[in-house]
Amino acid sequence: MDIREIIREEVSKILNEEYVDGDLYGYHVTSKSSLDKISNDGFKIGSGRMQGKGVYAFYLIKDALLYGGKGNVPTVGDGVAIVKFKITNPSSMLILNMKIAKDVFGSEYGLKNQIDKKYWGFGKGLEGLLKLIRVSINKDLTMEGLIKILDKIENNNSEMNQRTFWSSLIPSTESDSLNLLHNGNYGIEYRINNPSLMLPVGYYNLGLDGLSDFTEFSKSRNIPDTEEYDEIRKHVEKTGEDLVAFKKRLEDKMYATRNNKEFDHYSNLIDKIEKTLSNSKEIDEIDLSVGGHGLKPGGGRKFPASDTEGGHSLNLSVSDGPHQFPYEEKF
């Protein structure tokens, strides 16, 4: 059976959510030993810089499943997990895949529109980006030339053209600051510079017999178990609403009320939520890049001299497709 058919069968067994009712999701491949830390403290940017700075993840569960199932992820002997997360603020993303961008941003999905809403170190929008490029990359680039490049990325939305934007059009330091969703070597990929945008939802365990049932993380896991937090904790446990969304609703209520007592009550709850969110620590996650051997970020690596394609996925031998993120030298 073709590997793509195997992946389709596995994916058909689960709820495949990427963009649903305004919520944007993704899937991060990791070691099972990292699950508690991710659940309690969120994600952390690792030491790898193979495709720039950020937390790497996948937009589609099938891509995460294929990558995690090939047997090339160091797991310290405890197996592979695929963590589902929610992007808490999709407007913070730069989405280079135009089909997904249109789903998320509607009529404002165009790359020029996305760029115009962001600050680029030398100013906001296209003018800021042009100044940045002129200072750092190409002093002779005109606005007309920049728009032609962006139009080419939109109209011929290939992986290579998308890569042009973040790997060669802008400086690496500016690229590293982005929260990207783009077509990559292994499917549609995230590279998130701000891990606080990634809210862990739950996880699947991946073994030789396939994918486990989905296990949801407790939404009240980070809320202190004290009386002063009772209202927040009970609300989250009852409704399942995450703290970021709850905080936004409380802010809307606070600014809408004309009652001083209600204003103070909402303000007090918001302060407690902000304290809870700020107390979340980033995880010291296992290094899952090839050659990492389960080392902590910053530990030594020894890249293999040569690699063969293929591996084992879902207890079936496969021989197609890449099985690792590319080395830095390939960029």
pLDDT per position as a tens digit, 315-329: 323 333 333 333 333
For β-strands 180-184 and 23-31, DSSP reports them as unpaired
Query: Which residue has tokens 């996925």?
Result: 313
Inter-residue contact 262 to 270 (CB < 8 Å): no
Q: Which of 84, 72, 67 is nearest to 14 (CA)?
A: 84
* 265 sits in which H/E element: helix 260-278
Contact between residue 254 and residue 270 where contact means Cβ atoms under 8 Å apart: yes
Q: In this predicted model, what pLDDT tens digit does every residue of 241-293 receive, in sequence order?
A: 778 889 999 999 999 999 999 999 999 999 999 988 877 544 334 333 333 33
What is the CB neighbour count within 10 angstroms for residue 259? 9
The predicted-structure confidence for 114-168, as pLDDT tens digits, reads as follows: 999 999 888 999 999 999 999 999 999 999 999 999 999 999 999 999 999 999 9
The answer, yes or no, to whether residue 295 has pLDDT greater than 90, is no
| Mean pLDDT, residues 9-26 taken together | 66
Report d(CA 92, CA 177) in Å as an integer. Answer: 11
Q: Give the pLDDT confidence score for residue 236 in this predicted structure.
A: 86
What pLDDT does residue 76 have? 53
User: To 10 degrees, what angle do helices 243-256 and 230-239 make?
Assistant: 120
Helix, strand or coil, per DSSP, at residue 243: helix
When pLDDT is averaged across residues 292-313 and rounded to a whole number, the result is: 35
d(CA 256, CA 272): 20
Q: Please check whether residue 45 is in contact with residue 284, taking contact to mean a CB–CB distance below 8 angstroms.
A: no
* Bridge partner list, 215: 203
CB burial of residue 57 (10 Å; 0-12, 13-18, 19+): buried
What is the overall mean pLDDT for the chain? 79
Q: How far, in Å, are 118, 157, 165, 167, 178 from residue 171 at the CA level?
A: 16, 21, 10, 8, 11
Q: What size, in residues, is the chain?
A: 331
| Burial (0-12, 13-18, 19+ Cβ within 10 Å), 290 | buried
pLDDT band at 225 (very low <50, low <70, confident <90, very high): confident
